Amino acid sequence: MSHTIIDVIPENILEIGIFCVNGTKYKEGIKRKELWYKQRYAEGLRIKISVNQDNIQTGMIEYVPGKYAWRTIHAEDYTVIHCLQVSRSQTHQGYGSALLNACIEELQNADGIALVTSSKPWVNDKKFFVKKGFKQIGKAEPYYELLVKQFRKAALPTFNVGWEERALTYGKGLTVFYSNQCPIIEDTLKNLKEAAKECNIEIHFCKINSAEKAQKAPFVYGTFGVLLNGQFLTHRVFDKDRYVRLLKSKTRAC
C-alpha cells in the first residue's frame, strides 16, 4: 500500500475537504462542518486524511484533547478519537491502521487514547480497535462501549453517567440534539420534523455548540441524539419513513 497522510488545517480545508461526504446534497452541511472545525482547531481538534497513489482520498481520522471531546465522557489528559472512517471500496488495505498510527505518533505526551464504540452503525467499530491494543473499560446502555489505549499508568477515562436523569428533564415529545460535527445532519433534522408531524408528536430541537454541552448531553454519543418522552430513542441517521416506523414501534401516536 502506497499512501500519504494529509493534515487538514484551516488554511487548506477548502481545498482538501473533510472526506466523509461531498457533492451538492450536503453542501450546506459541509460548510458548517468546515466552520466548526476551524473554530475548534485552536482547542486541538485535528483531522488527518489518507490518500492513495492515485491521489484518491481513502480515509480519515478526527481526534481532540479529552478536555474538548464532543462525547459524553471524562477523559482529561487523554486524546479522544471522534471517528475513524475508511471508504468501503478501500477497506482491508491498511488505511485505517495508517491513520491510527499517524495519530498515535504525535500523541506521546497524552496519557493515552480513548473513544466510544458501538455495534451499531455510525459509531467507531470496537473490533478494529481491540485488534490494535485498545481495551474496553466501560459499557453504557443500550449499545455503547468506552475503549482506551494507555501510553502510561494514569487514571482511566469514564462515561459521564447520569444521562438518564438528564434526559428525563426534557419531558414529553421528541427532543432532538444536534451539532455541526456531522455534515449530513441537516437532512436528518428535516426527516425527523416530517416524521414527528406525520405521527402528531411535538418536536423540539436543541443545538449542541460546545464540548462542555456535549460532555453533559443526556445520551452517550454527545453530538447527535433523539429523546422520546424523556428517554433515549436513537443516535442513528434515518430517512423519514424509517423514523416513522421507529416512532410507531414506541408509541400509539402514528
Same domain, 42 and 149: yes
Q: Name the band, by pLDDT with cuts 50, 70 and 90, for residue 51.
A: very high
Over residues 33-58, mean pLDDT: 95
Going by pLDDT thresholds of 50, 70 and 90, the confidence category of residue 126 is very high
Q: What is the pLDDT of residues 209-231, one digit of tens each?
A: 999 999 999 999 999 999 999 99
167 and 225 within one domain: yes
Rounded-to-integer distance, Cα 49 and Cα 83, Å:
12
Q: Are residues 146 and 227 in the same domain?
A: no
Identity at 57, one-letter amino acid code? Q
**pLDDT > 70? residue 159:** yes
Q: How far apart are CA 80 and CA 225, in angstroms?
A: 19
For 8-37, how does the pLDDT look when each residue is reduced to its tens digit (9 = 90+)? 999 999 999 998 777 677 888 899 999 999
How high is the pLDDT of residue 244?
96
pLDDT at 254 (0 to 100): 62
Task: Output the domain CATH number for residue 226.
Answer: 3.40.30.10
Are residues 115 and 78 in contact, defined by beta-carbon separation less than 8 angstroms?
A: no
Query: What distance in Å separates the CA atoms of residue 97 and residue 113, rounded to the nearest whole number?
Result: 14
Asked whether 199 and 254 are in contact (CB, 8 A), the reply is: yes
Are both 63 and 114 inside the same structural domain? yes
Do residues 6 and 163 make contact, with C-beta atoms less than 8 angstroms apart? no
Domain check: are 128 and 169 in the same one?
no
126 and 181 co-located in one domain: no
Domain that holds residue 55: 3-159
Judge whether residue 67 has pLDDT over 80. Answer: yes
Counted domains in the chain = 2
Query: pLDDT digit string (tens) for 171-211?
Result: 899 999 999 998 889 889 999 999 999 999 999 999 999 99
Please report where in the chains the cell 493515552 appears, as a residue. Answer: 112
User: What CATH number is associated with residue 122?
Assistant: 3.40.630.30
DSSP-assigned beta bridge partners for residue 218: none
pLDDT of 150 reads 96
Cβ(218)–Cβ(166) below 8 Å: yes
**Are 44 and 132 members of one domain?**
yes
Q: Taking the model in full, what pTM does it have?
A: 0.94
**For the range 64-67, what are the long-range contacts, defined as Cβ-Cβ under 8 Å and sequence gap of 24 or more?**
64/40, 64/211, 65/110, 66/110, 66/114, 66/157, 67/43, 67/211
- 171 with 154, same domain: the answer is no
Same domain (yes/no): 142, 175: no
Q: Are residues 17 and 72 in the same domain?
A: yes
